[in-house]
Amino acid sequence: MFGYYKRRRRSRLRASPLPGSWLQIIRRNMPIYGRLPQEDQRELEGHVQVFLAEKQFEACGGLELTEEVSVTIAAGACVLLLHRNTDYFRRLITILVYPAPYVANSVEPIGGGVILEEEQIRLGEAWKSGVVVLTWADMQATSRGLNSGRNLVLHEFAHQLDMEDGLADGTPVLERRSQYARWSNIFGWEYERLRRDSALGRYTVLDKYGATDPAEFFAVATESFFEKPLLLSKRHPDLYTELKAFYQQDPARWPSRDPGVEIHAPSNNEDGPASGMEA
């Protein structure tokens, strides 16, 4: 019964007209919105209303939590939900927003019962407990096209999708069991390729932070899928195909020019898993 009322409430929210001030914010702060097909823009607007009705926002570090901040975050996050049967990041409860990079305590086991504790400067993070942390200054830089293919909101909310099964392992919940073998093959190979390229100092389409672990690789690949789709589809066609199937979107075919397409990167002669390989 609860599920029925939740679906009904969400349906009403999606059908409601988006406030004009919210639409202005999305158009101003979210370049991806202008590249979306018109029907996807309408779907995104509906998702934004559900997201803002269900999620909590908290300002940290002296930030003023304005309509512009919350709407910008909601719109970026909801790009990942288009065309998908979604429960709106079901583990997510709260989004914490800092004005600028913040200091966080890091605790890391290094073996032999020894734990390394240190302070780190961070732009954002995602927790299994239902929290996403973001930095407003970095989001503003993305809005102005200053982050060269990076997108903090896409990155951290990709982590939330990854953790919907309780694990941060770079494998989100897939529609069919038969998809997991192919996903593991392609993502595993591409992750190792990025690690090799990073170690050797080679050019990579993917941010080298993705070589940290499989969870970061999935988040970084998601950023490139939406921010540099033409480059990703040309240099990593199998990875692009897997992401296209998961997100049920094809950004390389959106009706606008991909700003990354004019980058003249050195050729990469490594062979990857065969295209069209069956799981």
Instruction: Write the pLDDT tens digit of every residue in 164-190.
Output: 999 999 999 999 999 999 999 999 999
Q: What Cα–Cα distance (Å) separates residue 143 from each residue in 7, 63, 146, 230, 267?
A: 32, 18, 8, 20, 30
**Per-residue confidence (pLDDT) for residue 234, from 0 to 100:** 97
DSSP state of 19: P
Residue range 2-53, pLDDT digits in tens: 588 899 999 999 999 999 999 999 999 999 999 999 999 999 999 999 999 9
Average pLDDT over residues 138-152: 93
Q: Which residues, 6+ apart, have CB-to-CB distance to 178 below 8 Å? A: 279
Return d(Cα 244, Cα 238) in angstroms, integer.
10
pLDDT at 148 over 90: no
Alpha carbon distance 199, 208 (integer Å): 9
Q: What is the pTM of this model?
A: 0.87
Q: Quickly state the pLDDT bin for 264 (edges 50, 70, 90).
A: very low
Q: Give the model's pLDDT for residue 5.
A: 87
Query: Residue 266: pLDDT above 80?
Result: no
pLDDT (average), residues 231-257:
93
β-strands 125-127, 131-135: how paired? antiparallel
Average pLDDT on 140-149 reads 91
Total count of residues recorded for the chain: 279
Give 87-127 pLDDT, tens digit per residue.
999 999 999 999 999 988 766 665 666 565 666 888 999 99
| Residue predicted with more confidence, 22 or 264 | 22
Buried b / exposed e over 104-141, threshold 16 CB at 10 Å, is eeeeeeeeeeeeeeeeeeebbbbbeebbbbbbbebbbe
Res 105: pLDDT: 74
* Greater model confidence, 115 or 80: 80
What are 97's two structure tokens? 């927003």
Q: Which amino acid is at 154?
A: L
Q: Are strands 94-98 and 131-135 parallel, antiparallel or unpaired?
A: parallel
- Give the residue extent of every domain in the chain: 1-147, 169-279
* CATH fourth-level superfamily of 1-147: Glucose-regulated metallo-peptidase M90, N-terminal domain (1.10.472.150)
pLDDT at 93: 96
**Overall fold of domain 169-279:** Collagenase (Catalytic Domain) (3.40.390)
pLDDT surpassing 60 at residue 80: yes
- Of residues 144 and 105, the one with the higher pLDDT is 144
User: CA nearest 188: which of 177, 180, 200?
Assistant: 180
**Separation of alpha carbons 40 and 198, rounded Å:** 35
1 pLDDT tier (thresholds 50, 70, 90): low
- Mean pLDDT computed over every residue of the chain: 88
H-helix or E-strand spanning residue 158: helix 152-162
Residues 6 or more apart whose CB falls under 8 angstroms from that of 184 comprise: 171
CA distances 228 to 41, 109, 231, 246, Å, are 19, 35, 6, 17
